[in-house]
Amino acid sequence: MAEPDPRRWKALALLCAANFMVILDSQIVLLAVPSIQRGLGLAASGAQWVLSAYLLGFGGLLLLGGRAADLAGRRRTFLAGTVLFLVASLACGLAWTGGALIGARVLQGLSAALMAPSALSIVTATFGEGPERHRAIAVWGGVGGFGGTAALLAGGPLTDVLGWRAIFFLNVPVAALLLVLGPLLLAESRGAARAYDPAGAASVTLAVTAAVFGVVRAPEEGWTSPWTAGAFAVAVLAGAAFVRAESRSAAPLVPLRTFRSRTLTGGNAVTFAAATAVFGTSFAVSQYAQGVLGYSPLVFGFATAVLPVAAVAGSYAAQAALGRWAVRPVAVAGLAVMAAGCLALGRVTAGAGYAPGLLPGLALLGFGLGTCGVAGSVAALAGSADGDAGLASGINTASFQLGGAFGVAAASTAVASWTDGTGPAALTAGFRGAFDVSAGIALAGALVAGVLLAAPARRTVPEPEQVRVK
């Protein structure tokens, strides 16, 4: 039996820094959008694309990025993505027009689609199955949960003190450090040698990109508008073409047998539901705190500090729980706690103070997110062989990003539907509706996870990690 790599914990710290940076950048612009809009003279629709462009690039290429890591080499793919991320972040910070910024954000998303799945697949290749891998994934999940919520904490102060360009320049030294230390700490690995699958790559990229486009445009255009309906129709047709291509390919990008694993499917359902609930709730909380309670971005950033702290606590609690219990009760409990946090926020009033109004819900939401991040990742990666680690990581990361995009869209739609007027009470009613919708999504995710993770995972690939799911 091979000795564990003595550099593995230092490598994990490096990879977690990359994960934090990638997840942070998907949401950090949320509080900076008004400043970007004023600085570059963007219309409201153009300002929205500063956020959406990253999601399009990230979500559209994730599966291809994951498989590229398996075929071309995980360390090589990770470092290539990091170089691209550094260049794109620099371009974002130096953008002179709205169009230049949106284009750079697309490039930033594409680079993240190479970095994120290759980093997680390096984690699974570096740590052997069992408690040590669970511990590593707990750290990974905790950092991811922290990054997903720290965007609200960091975005406001950075924008207020240093200006909106600082949120992009922040990435440059971090990416440079990754490029210096990556070759020293990360071992190269890859999956079984296979040819590329251009038909599968093109169809799945089109399907995911069209789905993300439809979701991010739905709140503005309407869920039944020609733009939205057309995007979803393209996604369905491209998805059907993808299934057909994969069923006929001798070397498919995504072997269809992958989705026969109940553990993998259930883990990704947990990830999707958790991302939907937390992104939708975070969007509504930021609007409520600033629009109704009158918080400045700086004050709001400090007010939400409880969210990332609770997420880290939840991830370590999940790691400890998985040493005693199966993944199913841990995942279901995490989603239930998230739902409780959303329901607590759904009781806020126009004059609520921080401690009785926001604090309990944010703490519960963060703790549940940390728990779900670990349980979802462990389950999703358990049914994959080492040769498919990059693919499984790409699917799991795609589930998180698609869930996040859907969550913001669902919350935006709920706010518009429940708001009847312009006063604080009317606005609060809209935000409460968004919190309740997020709670419903988290509960639905708990039910789905309870069903999918109820039976032992079917062995669909050679030598998968054994995870208890009952």
| Residues 109, 177 within the same domain | yes
Whether residue 435 lies inside any domain: the answer is yes
Domain range for 239 is 200-248
Whether residue 194 lies inside any domain: the answer is no
> 436, 343 in Cβ contact below 8 A?
yes
Nearest to residue 145, comparing CAs of 302, 323, 391, 316? 316
CATH code of residue 303: 1.20.1250.20
Say yes or no to pLDDT of 459 above 90.
no
- 117: tokens are 């799945």
Whether residue 461 lies inside any domain: the answer is no
Number of structural domains, the chain? 2
pLDDT of residue 195: 63
| Verdict on whether the full-model pTM lies above 0.75 | yes
Whether residue 465 lies inside any domain: the answer is no
Query: Mind listing the pLDDT tens digit for each residue in 33-48?
Result: 778 888 888 876 666 6
Whether residue 289 lies inside any domain: the answer is yes
| Residues 129, 72 within the same domain | yes
| Residues 220, 310 within the same domain | no
Whether residue 467 lies inside any domain: the answer is no
Q: Chain-wide mean pLDDT for the chain?
A: 84
| Residues 208, 281 within the same domain | no
| Residues 16, 122 within the same domain | yes
Ranked by mean pLDDT, which of 19-28, 108-117, 119-128 comes out on top? Answer: 108-117
pLDDT of residue 45: 63
| Residues 276, 345 within the same domain | yes
Whether residue 192 lies inside any domain: the answer is no
